[in-house]
Structure 1
Amino acid sequence: MTSIVSRFVLLRATVLAAGVASLLGGAAFAETPQNGGTLTAIVQPEPVTLTSAINTAAPTGFISGNVFDGLIDYDLDLNPKPALAERWEVAPDGLSITFFLRKDVTWHDGHPFTAADVKWTLENVWKTIHPRNQATFGRVTQVDTPDDHTVILRLSEPSLAILSSVNSNGAQVLPKHLYEGTDVLNNPYNLKPVGTGAFVFKEWSKGNYLILERNPNYWDKGKPHLDRVVFKVIPDAAARAAALEKGDVQYAVFSPVPLKDAERLGKLPTLKIETRGYEWISPWLFFDLNVDNKYLKDVRVRRAIAHAIDRKAISNIVWYGFAKPAISPVPSTLPAFHDATVPQYEFDVKKAEALLDEAGYKRGPDGVRFALTHDFIPYGDDYKRTGEYLKQALKRVGIEVTIRSQDTAAFTKRVYGDRDFDISSAWFAAFSDPQVGVTRAYWSGWVGKNTPWTNGSGYRNPEVDALIAQAQGQARQEDRIATFKKIQQIVQTDLPSIPLAELKFFSVHAANLKDVVTHGDQIYGSLKDAWFDKAASN
């Protein structure tokens, strides 16, 4: 434990020192971006689709944000900035939002981007199949397009969350002319996307790499600076570290290497560790408990499992300090909405044992009460280790756990479609408003719909559903805050999911790669500002 904590402290010091040096350098002079070059990045695991409008998985978002633009972007302080929309206006009564679109934007196939694309996507994708946006845009009753470059959202009640979620990941606009009249979920352009972004899809060699090339007709003139971005699929963590160290790869995200390697790599003059760019997502890790399971449908069993888990050990040991214990599905990084008074389940093995006894599941002659299967999100070693910790923790209280691994497509179908699991692990992004990222985990309308990253536990509570609907239309932020705190109190009492940790991701990039982070949603945003300092690489 001591050595792990020491390495964490040293790494954080390295990150801070690098940040200070960067700030000092930026204050001394403004560097002029240089054009050209190929950036090689790591995407892990390989995405199953390249369109965030239908799949909000992190690997999809990492690539898709380069192909598609959003209506707006967010700066490092999460203030909205113009993107496809040059400006926007919210009516004084909050019942309409008007977006004024750029007039010089084309899709990668040359077709003009217009208000019709936004209207069609909102009505046919965001409000119907998108795993987060049914809640975000639930109060939109009508979309008016008085001309090709004006979009007016008419709302039955104000929706304060909309402007927190209209970037390229939160509300990705699809080309109407390629999707209208098709099966959106199985449209071939999900695998060969046509966007409006800085980079154009070129090639996908499954299991190996994806290639994006510079968009020569990009509306943001002079950008992107890079000629090409190649995303390599490298499943092995040690191989990822080696590729970064050798310079074969210049950019990797979502804590791509183990801490011991990050510490070492961070000391190299050719590499930097970056913690910015994740501000928009507010991620938390959790276990979903299948409430239809014959054991887990008993809330006493769910609470016993929570008491058997040491969340501090998960944060400090399993996640090497790149996390903090979570007590609620609304992370503390959203301080206005976070409720620190929710029911909490301290690490207490004796209490866990007593609850299991009370539920009628006594230990057998072999010391086992019953057996469960755990399916961990297949995003790397950190998640596998979390599953291994669960196995050890529950064995201590008489529950045998079998760990099952699979690829992402099989995992999402098993959990969100077939519901053929007992306990699963996943991480969600809460984003800057719990209406955007948290309510999807508890709204009963998602159960069994095979929509990834929604209500995996199968939780159905009419009171919570009503509160979720209520929050969508509340005009005053203080009322929404009170509603979300009620939701937290209820779900942490019912406990269909166990919040484990608030995650702290980091990226690794080449020292001569400049402006790789310019936005608070950078991890899902565009690399249009990134460039190589060729003098520094010599």
Structure 2
Amino acid sequence: MSPLFSRLPFVALLLLAACKGSDAAHRRTLIDARDRYDPKSLDPALSTDVPTGRAVSYLFDGLTRFSPDAKVGPALATRWEVTPDGRTYLFHLRAGVRFHDGSLFHASDVVHSFTRVLDPSNKSGRPWPLYPIAGARAFAAGRAATVAGVTALDDSTVRIALDTALAIFPKLLAMPVAAVVPAKISADFSEHPVGTGAWTLVSWQHDDFVLLARNSEYFGGAPKLDSLMIRIIPEPSTAVAEFESGNIDLLYVPEADAQRWEQSDEKKALLTSAPALRLWYVALNTTRGPLKDARVRQALNHAVDVHTILDKLLGGRGHLAAGVIPPTLEGADAARVPYAYDTVVARKLLAAAGYAKGFDIELWVPQDPAFARVAESIQSYLAVVGVRVKLVQRESAAAREAARNGQADMIVKDWYADYPDAENFLYPLLHGANRGVGGNVSFYANPEFDRIVSLSRVEQDSSKRTALYRQADSLSFAEAPMIYLFFYNELYAVQPWVKGFVVPTIFNGQKFTDVSITAH
């Protein structure tokens, strides 16, 4: 805790952070109300959800970090080198960095942190970003005494060996679970975390707020604000009312309110938007019935008016998909056009495939209002070309399990990237190695696609890797293993007194170090 806040009684902290109405522009605390539920923990090892990951990114640092525009760059490591075979990384660490408790950061803390995440006794986390490290899986499974691939060569150098080359490995180290913690931690570390981050914990009132103070000794430069409050407001309408009263500074605009905000000149002036790394699609099980034929799958794409669905049901918040790579990532082909809405073409393709009279099929839908509306629209569009769709609504976990087991003909899904790279779309969603449980619930199988994606994963030259991404995306798009819907846009309302906020492309890409509040 910073010296300033350690001298303030708790009630004073709340008064400091909760200046309202006309006073809001004069306070030095930014109040962020994007999260609708409490972080599950403030321990990086237990980071499994967005609110936890965001909070961890304020309190901790990894060897690398993401910028708001999703570029990976140095954090606790100032630079790194990789061997020509792509299997060994040498990270050179920043000197003089201290944890919030005053202890110095050393290379041994990296080894300790990764070992802790992979410890077999840790059953609540998601250690998979560290699995590429040599010996990580064996250690996590209890088959090895140490993580063989992580070595502290001295206090300022860490060597990490991988089982196989993986070009995007530095991006995995920017994920919250790979954040570095001190060697000595308390038993209640998840409630009282100690990191090296730009912010330190003042108070966590569960299901209400998390209050953070700026770290004046932060190696990247102290934040411009004195404090940052994360308010937990489960009900979207309540968050909107609080924003309109000036009680919060940053609001995620609910889908249902988007058009109302955009139709008001006063409210529209407060909006800022950016493409999220989130793809909405309908997975088509390429092993089932008519869906085995690529012409049928292409027909389904032509039969659905995605533009109208996006405009009418989601307030136009997105861009039509012409592949699985978001337009903000390298590898996306801006020249490729989405499947055109054309029922004539759809009928011709169906007839050519032997289904001139259409067919019966099931569309599975998780019990989510937005998904349900989209599914009902797709059902109506497909009926026009003779495809008779039965909607199967199930609780999300049950629908996901059915899709993974190959029991669903089609399923409405979305995919939110874990890290900003085309590989995180091509590989989990369509590579043969991930059919079923791995994420490829289209059960798409194309040896040439797999070969290209596998090459891209080890290619160290970024321009060559980008070309491989584009080639793979083009190949799969032509074979239509899904109905390509759209890439979603995040829409935020930001108070006019907030300066310097940039909507992050990836959830942990905004640390609020350059954000300020200015009287207006």
Tell me the TM-score normalized by structure 1. Answer: 0.70
Q: 1:254 to 1:485 in 2, by over 3 A?
A: farther
Partner of 1:241: 240
Q: Where in structure 2 are there 5+ consecutive unaligned residues?
A: 1-24, 119-124, 136-146
For the 8 Å contact 1:108–1:200, the answer to whether it is kept is no
**Cα distance, 1:100 vs structure 2:** 2.5
2:498 to 484, 488, 513: 513
Deviates more, 1:73-82 or 1:472-481: 73-82
Does residue 272 of the first structure (1) align with residue 270 of the second (2)?
A: yes
For the 8 Å contact 1:117–1:173, the answer to whether it is kept is no
1:173 to 173, 179, 185: 179
Does residue 67 of the first structure (1) align with residue 59 of the second (2)?
A: yes
Does residue 150 of the first structure (1) align with residue 138 of the second (2)?
A: no
Give the secondary-structure state (helix, strand or coil) at the position aligned to 1:89. Answer: strand
Partner of 2:381: 393
Q: 1:90 to 1:329 in 2, by over 3 A?
A: same
Q: 1:374 to 1:141 in 2, by over 3 A?
A: same
In the aligned structure 2, how far is the partner of 1:383 from the partner of 1:81? 36
Partner of 1:118: 110
For the 8 Å contact 2:66–2:73, the answer to whether it is kept is yes
Residue deviations 1:124-148, cap 9 Å, x none?
869x96667768999x994432123
In the aligned structure 2, how far is the partner of 1:131 from the partner of 1:497? 26
**CA RMSD for the aligned pairs?**
4.7
Partner of 2:80: 89
For the 8 Å contact 1:416–1:455, the answer to whether it is kept is no
Partner of 1:434: 422
Partner of 1:496: 481
Q: Give the residue type in structure 2 aligned to 1:41.
A: A
Q: 1:303 to 1:204 in 2, by over 3 A?
A: farther
Q: 1:282 to 1:352 in 2, by over 3 A?
A: same
Give the secondary-structure state (helix, strand or coil) at the position aligned to 1:248. Answer: coil
Q: Where in structure 1 are there 5+ consecutive unaligned residues?
A: 1-32, 180-186
Give the secondary-structure state (helix, strand or coil) at the position aligned to 2:470. Answer: helix
Does residue 352 of the first structure (1) align with residue 337 of the second (2)?
A: no
Q: 1:313 to 1:199 in 2, by over 3 A?
A: farther
Give the secondary-structure state (helix, strand or coil) at the position aligned to 1:42. Answer: coil
Residue deviations 1:449-480, cap 9 Å, x none?
4x7xx434343444433332221222333432
Deviates more, 1:502-511 or 1:116-125: 116-125
For the 8 Å contact 1:75–1:81, the answer to whether it is kept is yes
Q: 1:174 to 1:445 in 2, by over 3 A?
A: farther
For the 8 Å contact 1:53–1:174, the answer to whether it is kept is no
Q: 1:66 to 1:477 in 2, by over 3 A?
A: closer
Partner of 2:218: 219
Does residue 325 of the first structure (1) align with residue 313 of the second (2)?
A: no
Q: 1:195 to 1:391 in 2, by over 3 A?
A: farther
Q: 1:131 to 1:144 in 2, by over 3 A?
A: closer
Alignment of 1:447-526 (within 5 A): 447-449=435-437, 454-517=439-502, 524-526=509-511
For the 8 Å contact 1:209–1:232, the answer to whether it is kept is yes
Deviates more, 1:284-293 or 1:153-162: 153-162
2:363 to 361, 367, 372: 372
**Cα distance, 1:330 vs structure 2:** 1.9
Residue deviations 1:231-268, cap 9 Å, x none?
323344x4443332122332123766632232256615
Task: Tell which has more relative contact order, 1 or 2 (C-alpha 8 A, sep 6+).
Answer: 1
Q: 1:512 to 1:116 in 2, by over 3 A?
A: same
For the 8 Å contact 2:313–2:373, the answer to whether it is kept is yes
Give the secondary-structure state (helix, strand or coil) at the position aligned to 2:490. Answer: coil
Partner of 2:139: none
Q: Give the residue type in structure 2 aligned to 1:480.
A: R
Give the secondary-structure state (helix, strand or coil) at the position aligned to 2:33. Answer: strand
**Cα distance, 1:123 vs structure 2:** 7.5
Partner of 1:15: none
Partner of 1:99: 91
Q: 1:89 to 1:129 in 2, by over 3 A?
A: same
Give the secondary-structure state (helix, strand or coil) at the position aligned to 1:369. Answer: strand
Q: Give the residue type in structure 2 aligned to 1:147.
A: D
In the aligned structure 1, how far is the partner of 2:332 from the partner of 2:83? 24
For the 8 Å contact 1:311–1:326, the answer to whether it is kept is no
In the aligned structure 2, how far is the partner of 1:67 from the partner of 1:289? 41
In the aligned structure 2, how far is the partner of 1:416 from the partner of 1:124? 33
In the aligned structure 1, how far is the partner of 2:508 from the partner of 2:108? 28
**Cα distance, 1:88 vs structure 2:** 0.3
Partner of 2:231: 231
User: Percent identity, aligned pairs only?
Assistant: 22
For the 8 Å contact 2:81–2:89, the answer to whether it is kept is yes
**Cα distance, 1:413 vs structure 2:** 5.5
For the 8 Å contact 1:74–1:81, the answer to whether it is kept is yes
In the aligned structure 2, how far is the partner of 1:469 from the partner of 1:99? 25
In the aligned structure 2, how far is the partner of 1:188 from the partner of 1:288? 42
Give the secondary-structure state (helix, strand or coil) at the position aligned to 2:270. Answer: strand
Give the secondary-structure state (helix, strand or coil) at the position aligned to 2:340. Answer: coil
In the aligned structure 1, how far is the partner of 2:166 from the partner of 2:26? 42
In the aligned structure 2, how far is the partner of 1:144 from the partner of 1:436? 27
Q: Give the residue type in structure 1 aligned to 2:273.
A: T
In the aligned structure 1, how far is the partner of 2:130 from the partner of 2:290? 33
Partner of 1:200: 201
Partner of 2:142: none
Does residue 303 of the first structure (1) align with residue 298 of the second (2)?
A: yes
Q: 1:500 to 1:520 in 2, by over 3 A?
A: closer
Give the secondary-structure state (helix, strand or coil) at the position aligned to 1:331. Answer: coil
Q: 1:35 to 1:341 in 2, by over 3 A?
A: closer
Partner of 1:21: none
**Cα distance, 1:510 vs structure 2:** 1.9
Q: Give the residue type in structure 2 aligned to 1:241.
A: V
Q: 1:359 to 1:482 in 2, by over 3 A?
A: same
Tell me the TM-score normalized by structure 2. Answer: 0.72
For the 8 Å contact 1:159–1:472, the answer to whether it is kept is yes
